[in-house]
Structure 1
Amino acid sequence: MAHHAVLLSGLRVTHGDEGDARFVHYVLEHGFRYLRGDAAHARFWDAPMFHPAANTTAYSDPLQGVLPLYAVWRAVGMSPDRAFQFWAFTVTSLNFLSALWLLRKGVGASSGAAMVGAVLFAAGSSRINQANHPQLLPQFYSVLAVGALLALARPETSRRAGAGWAALLVAACVAQLYAGFYWGWFLGFFLALTALVALGFPDTRAKLFQGLRTHGPALLLWGVVGVMALLPLVQHSLAAAREVGLRSFGEAEGMVPRFATWFHMGDTNWLYGWTGRLKTFARIPVEGEHRMGLGVLTLVLAGAGLWHARQRPVARLLMGVVLVTVLIATRYRGGLMPWWLVFHGVPGANAVRAVCRMGVWMLLPASVGLALFLSRQAREGKAWVAALLGSVCLLEQGQSGSTFDVAAARADVQWVAGQVGSGCQSFLYSPAGGNEPSWKYQIDAMWASFERGVPTLNGYSGNAPPGWALEPVIRADAASAARLDEAVRAWARARGLDVSSICRIETPPPH
């Protein structure tokens, strides 16, 4: 469901386009070469792009929490492109297995229902619609954190066992932040929101206070350890924020969910692709980020499953969290956006630009609700009904997303690398009259830097260092060529570079 396009191509293609997907791959490959001890990657936080700027890895997600899942495939001899594909397969498999564990052990769903719910979590439409942002794939740490929280809430969990669950909860939160900021921040936000919702029901309020009395010391102890473990990430991220500045709400405004966002499936969905042409969805700004729908039947059954199980605290909490989230995150007519208060009032929220990505988080309560509904059908002797409904729900998730040819992208990189002379101390790839988007040339240069072991002035990330004015990097005409030449001289003066030591590559690939 998640990677059929890659598998059916015989691994010839990879999900996404040659922009964000290859950038995420670049960060992982840089991390692997750091672990391997390559001289050009001796400092993890100083990836050799935007040369000679420092702390460039912190401009975006460093992905340390999922780096081992890539490094292991590279260590056994896979090429970078193949290792990246298997990294995606591994991450999706772990999403599935963690959700299966949570639904079986934490929620008590039947095995068949848990399987369907776990597939929904790992390969739901909203997640696969974000496949061009592979940093959004790894969410299994969050599932482990939720499972640990459920264990701590059980009255039969002893202090000794609770210490282990508290350690898992904190470790999962720390690892999720190291795996990617969005899911790490959303995990903290939704845990806090769950605690607030729990205060609204007498039984869950009692469970919350009892859990804190019983397991509070262990949570405090492991929490201190977790904070210490996060210090390197926090320090480098704050340093990057001081250098490049924080997001303004204007940058996030176009990606605050509309009412239609919660139902938008995108034009590549197998069953609902035709809805992408409807004005309600087509006129949404930054439309690709708003594809957070899960399908009519899936939403109905997931909601019904939670409602029928409302006597269970976990079901009521999930319904409450979903309701509050939709209410505070949705943009209303007239431009009213309650999220403005969250953006300016909650620590870290001003680093969340694509707010609507929280729709992917809704896969967790949706998978719980669907599993509970299907389990109920099975208990009532309607296993065939459960199988049929579960199959249709999964069919609703089917997507035919974009892909790019791995060999073609690699050939462009090899061509650029071949133009970097042995005496170059750094280089800039700024093709004259190139027909591809500027970001593709930037990333081609970054990957060519790997091949030659030479840093590049080119760069592509969530941010750029102050004074770097090499975007767009295409020499389209005399005016743009003069602008780039001056930008290179200004950058060299500001960063103490000898302009004559910078090799210039200005010819695009022959094709």
Structure 2
Amino acid sequence: MNAYKRMGLTLRSLPGRIWRTIIPVALFLWGMWSLPYALLNPDHALIPGDLGDARFNNYVLEHFHLYVGGGVESFWDAPFMHPEGNVIARSDNLLGTAPIYDAFRRLGWDRENAFQLWILVLFALNYWGAFVALRGWRTGPVVAACGAFIYAFGIHQIGHLSHVQVFPRFMLPIALMAWWRVLEGGRARWWYLTALATAYQFWCGIYLGFILT
């Protein structure tokens, strides 16, 4: 009898569990379709940004791809501002997310399409990174999904479309959540996660990395 009661409770709670799964996924798909994917145009002919930062960031990512493939000898000594060396260290190196771009290039995408896909992946990572962090703050899945939607696809993102180097910020909420757990007296693993997330955010984007210090 108790087994049947437990089964009945499980079945009655199933719709709620389904909605708690559907809503985060639905908000993610809606956000991806309405902002980053829409920016690329239906024929994928557009790249967010301008001829300044967007082109430079595409160059840095392509330079990383060439370096990994043996096409250039040094990553840090990019062939501009000659004869100055170590020029990549003077700006955004994008090392935290450059392997994503490199993977798309190796799969056969051209330079511009790989850059577009890199941007799409960053939006996705920002959403799910914020979602995981908000769940770590013990919020419900629906509230976490709404917060992640605002974080990844909010109007503030539109204001930064010309500066794609600040798009990789998916480790920022995770680092803050981990530090909050540390302040609560959490275990040593939260110290490790705080340090790891902060360091990785630096490699993703040095500007946002400094926010955590």
Q: Please give the range of the TM-score, normalised by the shorter of the 2 chains.
A: 0.7 to 0.9
Superposition deviation, residue 4 in structure 1: 3.9
- Equivalent residues in 2 for 1:31-430 (5 A)? 31-38=64-71, 41-106=72-137, 108-155=138-185, 157=186, 162-188=187-213
CA distance in 2, matches of 1:23, 1:139: 19
Report if aligned partners of 1:74, 1:80 keep a CA contact under 8 Å in 2: yes
* Structure 2 CA distance for aligned equivalents of residues 138 and 65 of structure 1: 8
After TM superposition, give the deviation of residue 12 of structure 1 in Å. Answer: 1.0
Asked if structure 2 preserves the Cα contact closer than 8 Å seen for 1:151 and 1:165, the reply is yes
Partner-residue secondary structure (3-state), 2:212 = helix
8 A Cα contact 1:74 1:83, kept in partner: yes
Question: Percent identity of the aligned residues?
Answer: 35
Give the C-alpha shift of residue 139 in structure 1. Answer: 0.7
- Name the structure 1 match of 2:39: 6
Which 4+ stretches in 1 moved above 4 angstroms? Answer: none
Structure 2 residue identity aligned to 1:33: L
Work out the CA distance in 2 between the residues paired with 1:10 and 1:54: 39
The 8 Å contact of residues 2 and 122 in structure 1, kept in 2 or not, is answered as no
Aligned to 2:48: 15
Contact 2:97 2:204 in 1 (8 A): yes
C-alpha offsets along residues 68-107 of structure 1, whole Å, 9 cap, x if unaligned? 221121122211111111111111111100111111222x
Q: Deviations over 1:477-500 (max 9, x none)?
A: xxxxxxxxxxxxxxxxxxxxxxxx
In structure 2, distance between residues paired with 1:77 and 1:163:
43
What amino acid maps onto 1:123 in structure 2? F
Equivalent-residue separation in structure 2 for 1:10 and 1:110 (angstroms): 38
2:133–2:174 Cα contact (<8 Å) kept: yes
TM-score normalised per structure 2: 0.79
* Cα distance in structure 2, aligned partners of 1:163 and 1:142: 19
Q: Once superposed, what is the RMSD of the aligned Cα atoms?
A: 1.6
Question: Any conservation in 2 of the 1:34–1:42 contact (CA below 8 Å)?
Answer: yes
Residue 52 of structure 1, CA deviation: 2.8
Alignment partners' CA distance in 1, 2:122 and 2:37: 15
Give the Cα–Cα distance (whole angstroms) in 1 for the partners of residues 178 and 150 of structure 2: 21
1:182 positional shift: 1.0
Query: Can you list the C-alpha shifts for 1:81-139, whole angstroms capped at 9, x where unaligned?
Result: 11111111111111100111111222x22222221110100111112211111001011
Structure 1, residues 324-353: CA drift from partner, whole Å, max 9, x if none? xxxxxxxxxxxxxxxxxxxxxxxxxxxxxx
| Normalised TM-score (structure 1) | 0.34
Q: Deviations over 1:220-262 (max 9, x none)?
A: xxxxxxxxxxxxxxxxxxxxxxxxxxxxxxxxxxxxxxxxxxx
Question: What are structure 1's unaligned runs of at least 5 residues?
Answer: 189-511
Counterpart AA for 2:179: L
2:40, 2:116 within 8 Å by CA — same for their partners in 1? no
* Aligned pairs for 1:431-450 within 5 A: none
**Aligned-partner residue type, residue 25 of structure 1:** N
CA displacement at 1:7 relative to structure 2: 4.3
Aligned residues: 180
CA contact (8 A) 2:61 2:101 kept: yes
- Give the match's secondary structure for 2:47: strand
CA distance 1:164–1:75, change in 2 (3 Å) = farther
Which structure has the bigger radius of gyration? Answer: 1
Report Cα offsets for 1:450-496 as digits up to 9, x if no partner. xxxxxxxxxxxxxxxxxxxxxxxxxxxxxxxxxxxxxxxxxxxxxxx
Name the CA shift for 1:66/1:140 in 2 (closer, same or farther; >3 Å): same
Partner Cα separation in structure 1 for residue 126 and residue 90 of structure 2: 26
- Whether the aligned pair in 1 keeps the contact of 2:105 and 2:111 (CA below 8 Å) is yes
Whole-angstrom CA distance in 1 between matches of 2:76 and 2:140: 45
Matching of residues 487-498 of structure 1 within 5 Å: none
Residue 28 (structure 1) aligned to one of 48, 61, 86: 61
The equivalent residue for 2:27 is: none
